Amino acid sequence: MADASAETRDGVITRTPEEAEAVQKRRAEADAIDRELVQKAQAGDRTALGELLHKYGPGLYRSILLPRLGNKTAATEALAETYAKVVANIGKFVWQNVGFYPWLRTVALRVALDQLRAKKRLVLFEEDDLAREVDAAQTETPVEQQLSDQRDREAARRKVDDALGEIHPRYARAIRLRILEEKPRDAVATELGVSPATFDVLLHRAVASLKKTLGRATEGRDSDG
Amino acid sequence: MVDRDDKKREPSATREASVPDIDPDAPPSADEVAASECLRDALADPSVPNHDAELARSLRAAFAPAAIAAAAHDDIVDDVPTADELALADELRAALEDLGGGGDNGGDEPDLVRALGAAWRPGEIGKTDHDALVAKATKDLAASNSDNEGAKIIPFARRRAGIAAVATGILALAASVFLFITTSDRSGLRPSAPLARARSTQPLFGEPFKAGDQSKPGDASARIDKIAVARASDYRDNRFRKWGVR
């Protein structure tokens, strides 16, 4: 696929004129198909709606909902709620030549924001982050889902990096090796020069430290508000 | 001076060889001066490596051991995991082992660990799970459509149509008369004064606002209240002018 092989830098895809033309043509074809599916879904065609959801839903789950809500259960609930809102509002959707995905993404972000507000769990993303993303979603969602997904995942990783930057480097390293890179416990213990049992304690302290940092940031914002 | 018999009691020949019998007051050699300077520096700064200084410090520690600094002791105590910490560490380890299996163990720390993993490397939704969600959504769509289709259409009888047409005609006539009267009444009350326009709020205040000024608590709230009152007043005036009552 030309999209996948396109060179990306700072979230901007650079293409040769031929590639750009091919991408544009393919997008126009995909848009035509989506537009027809949307029209059918608006007329009550279940199969058409199913096709749209199968096409875009898994990406939405992986790039938006799971990273922002923090666990599978919450993300699956949010996806179900997103679909319910799509069913309820598909009749109001007006095709605006940017495709179906930006609208779907905005719906999902709003659902995720509502979930964060309702549950008050300690997760990496906070209400403010989601609120900003919802505001920006109206104008800044790329038409291509692939690019949009890439940006969303990069934003999630930046959030992780920022959070780890707030704690002691040794704690950050323990979390990075064991949780993010998913290296085996014994291997990480060896890498950090401690016994596996001591590493368990080190990791617990690392996570406790991160929790404290995130909690402090939240409290700071709450008291400012 | 040392007694000859005492000298015989020295422990070994090696020690005698390594410690030359030097007159303490003899002038120092260049090597001795250099070694003495190293020892002096090492005694002043424990980070400077020097065997003689280490020996000196061990002598001092044996002779008059110093108490441990409170902060250093606290650090050591802090480094020892408590029973609670050990339990939490064990819980976290178990949760981490379970993450691959998709477990949803409770607790703040496993939650946070899961959130980090999900943000860094989000997994795919299972096909069966997603199929179930889509099936439910599409079923809901069919249900909402069948509700609409199920709405009863009441047939319009010819006689009723005649009555309805007459009634509608009378109502339309009454409405047009009402409209004529009200608009002609209002024409005399058209606003002549211009509407209030958007403008800076600076003239409401005598001095510029300093953000974060702790010396005047409540200053920001008072300022916002004043702006809100002024804006509300403008809004009210504009509404009245548009309605033609001013």
- pLDDT: which is higher, B2 or A205: A205
Q: How confident is the model at residue A110 (pLDDT cuts 50, 70, 90)?
A: very high
Domain A167-225 has CATH 3.30.70: no
B107-125: average pLDDT: 84
Could you give the CA distance from residue B116 to residue B203 in angstroms, rounded to a whole number? 50
Q: How confident is the model at residue A217 (pLDDT cuts 50, 70, 90)?
A: low
Q: What DSSP element (H or E) covers A9? A: strand A7-9
Q: How confident is the model at residue B131 (pLDDT cuts 50, 70, 90)?
A: very high
What average pLDDT does chain B have? 70
Which residues of chain A make contact with B108, given a CB cutoff of 8 A?
A: 122, 211
Could you give the CA distance from residue B106 to residue B100 in angstroms, rounded to a whole number? 15
% residues pLDDT > 90 (chain A): 17
- pLDDT: which is higher, B147 or B13: B147
- Between A189-193, B177-181, B202-206, B217-221, the lowest mean confidence (pLDDT) is in B177-181
pLDDT score of A41 more than 80: yes
Could you give the CA distance from residue A28 to residue A99 in angstroms, rounded to a whole number? 9
Q: What is the 3-state secondary structure (H, E, C) of B181-222?
A: HHHHHHHCCCCCCCCCCCCCCHHHCCCCCCCCCCCCCCHHHH
In this complex, which of B86, B116, B123 lies closest to A179 when CB atoms are compared?
Answer: B116
Nearest CA in chain A to B132: A80
Q: Within 13 Å of residue A102, how many CA atoms lie on the same side as its CB?
A: 18
What average pLDDT does chain A have? 82
Q: Which of B229, B185, B186, B182 has its CA nearest to residue B205?
A: B229
Q: How confident is the model at residue A71 (pLDDT cuts 50, 70, 90)?
A: confident
Q: Which of B218, B204, B71, B118 has its CA nearest to residue A63?
A: B118
> Which residues in chain A (91-150) have CB-CB distances under 8 A to chain B?
121-125
ipTM of the complex: 0.74
A179·B144 Cβ contact <8 A: no
A211 close to B (CB below 8 A): yes
- Between A47-56, B190-199, B203-212, the lowest mean confidence (pLDDT) is in B190-199
- Between A27-36, A43-52, B4-13, B173-182, the lowest mean confidence (pLDDT) is in B4-13
CB A73 within 8 A of CB B126: no
- pLDDT: which is higher, A158 or B194: A158
pLDDT score of A61 more than 80: yes
Q: How confident is the model at residue A188 (pLDDT cuts 50, 70, 90)?
A: very high
Beta strands per DSSP E along chain B: none
pLDDT score of A29 more than 80: yes
- pLDDT: which is higher, A7 or A154: A154
A76 close to B (CB below 8 A): yes
pLDDT score of B50 more than 60: yes
CATH class of A7-143: mainly alpha
Q: Residue B146: its pLDDT value, please?
A: 63
pLDDT score of B34 more than 90: no
A69·B118 Cβ contact <8 A: yes
Q: How confident is the model at residue B99 (pLDDT cuts 50, 70, 90)?
A: low
Q: How confident is the model at residue A219 (pLDDT cuts 50, 70, 90)?
A: low
B40-50: average pLDDT: 85
Which residues of chain A make contact with B88, given a CB cutoff of 8 A?
A: 204, 208
pTM above the 0.80 mark? no
- What residues does each domain of chain A span? 7-143, 167-225
